[in-house]
Structure 1
């Protein structure tokens, strides 16, 4: 085979490699759901002439029987890869006179070429379909093009009637060719298709008819009718008959319906959630507890309720009448001094230590029974910032007040004041002095 023929084969294969690569990376992801493979057989007429390019080196061509077979892999809805085999014979003569009525002077009378094989690999494109508004088609128009190799052996007859082999011993000649074709396909059943086609073969040489005449290379054509058989499970459709536009449209309709259904579900959920929120927020008796959690839904207006919406327990203990005593005895003062001496707080905090509770309880009882008033003055040492010391002294005085109130003392008769480190009673330079300055003074009146 010639070097440039090898180049042509490589070029054609290069064109197919990107298509195969894209197929593997998911151009058509639903391929497993269809039948892709098919085989075909056909028979028809071979002629040493092409619809575009004219005839070969003899003035008259003859139609001869031809046959073929192929195997095809459908890559996409509209694109397939087909391997073809064609055989038969080609024949022609110079019986046709020229345009001026003269007999052509070609030196030969006729030829007959045995086309031993023509093997090619082609891309087949479905360019048009009938009833394209439907998901499944039944008629297709397709085009094909590719490249291949053909082997043949011509026999020529001269004007004396002597027939000889073009190559001694009928030696086979091999050439590269380019097949270009078109066809019409009909779907007969889910498995069988009727295939009508016409293919032109442009040979890279000028010895197909055993005669080299003029600058043009040889060509021939094959018109055929055949049957194509789809391979695979009968439960699957043939990919080539699926209408991609209709499939896409149906998928869009299906997706739209799915989205609308999801929106309806979301709206229904939103409506239900809104109703639940309204249910949680509704408070018919205005007690601050929603009806959903309210175990006492008919609470009277203005009543204080607990977390379940029920009235808080009322204090039914009889109030003790207090007779105000104006005189403060020495025993009263001693009791207050003991409370001051026993009062201790957590380090750096306003929390009273439990050891201080008994003496504070006695002060609270004194305030309740005798109706005395009490001023609490909180003091600290000078360790730390003045602002923090002022806050701590105030908090400690308030802490004592709160404890006395919990023991029954009247909060309106207790005043809590913080002085920080502003009123020391000892030097802050010594630990003992600072200890004395950290105090809460009780002033009974």
Structure 2
């Protein structure tokens, strides 16, 4: 599999691609593929090379003289997803110029030569201004620690941050702009700006730059005991810093970095003796208290190399990417055979069962809902008349319908009714009470049952009478179902508790023109209507 293909499989790379695994880690890779070891082998990853350039500044006994620069290049290799190592070479240029003069430089043999600044007759030295230019060659080996690629909320990042520490050898060559002819120019600056005048140090330095017009050609003081390389001092430097990389694509990135270097010398500026000046007192000489340091702020361009059968440098990859992708869409892990619950044993698992409490043995459809072959609202396992003709519906609670009389029977009935002998005539039941419920209740109270007992007695005393039980509420599905529940509760009580035949009732719910919490009972002799009606919205029924 090629590099491009490996990068486009999944978010980072194909964890199963053996061509990405070094030979020494193939054993672990094979165990992983065979599910004998849970951790995948670390893939082969690219090296990084880069160049940089930027601004430098020194921290020495001599103040900086304007901006200076440097450049460098490096090669970097990941040891893991966090730690990597880097070898880096940097060329650094530093310059300095003091705004205060010094006289106590008698211990600096590079400045007290008879041809330069000899000791005066009174035993003192003429006032001069320290200056230097140093060229540094630095080779360091660094450990870098990345901390933005391990991310719990996204697969990859477009930038990375890191810190680093390291050490290595460095050489430096320091030169002065010094000549005996500068003495008069120094004195003119001193006469123009008294040493106590700290407010004009910028003007002093500008005046000194007009004096120091020669070349950097005088070798500065060097340590007598240190090692040398190519005739210049060789010492050890320690570095630390922080950097930010911004990804351009899978090959290129740019880096902004700040590196601070700690040297092992006090002569990077060519001065290890400093002039301690206190206004109103004589000058004294003291050794510089600490070694010199410098800083390098750079902008670099980096490129990934050795791409064949390798992934990006590991500090760009998220090691959690494989784990999250495997959890989301398993391709490698062994999954147990799923066991899905079927609580009611109807053959439809609970997660798909729309009626999870179907009685045992009840026939159901593919959604686990009880079959209702004739669509009369009574499921087949309760239906005593499984195929009720449409014209015989609605049905009673057992699913049994009441078919209309044939035409001959209707003609006979009309004849009987016209003679005043038929069912429904001569009804003297009179006015019947209403039942009023509270809130959304459907339960009959003790007072309700007493009223219904009087209704039952009237119906027993008038066997030719039919009664319409009327509920109101057509404004919503919930109101219609509540009306049905209350009408059903009244009729069921009169039938089951008072022994009145269900044929003597007309079931009316969801009517308009009345109070929704009231159930009216009225004489319905001679009227037609069903004595039972399926619940309009059974899922909204009040228990």
TM-score (normalizing by structure 1): 0.46
More helix by share: 1
More strand by share: 1
TM-score of the superposed pair, with normalisation by structure 2 = 0.38
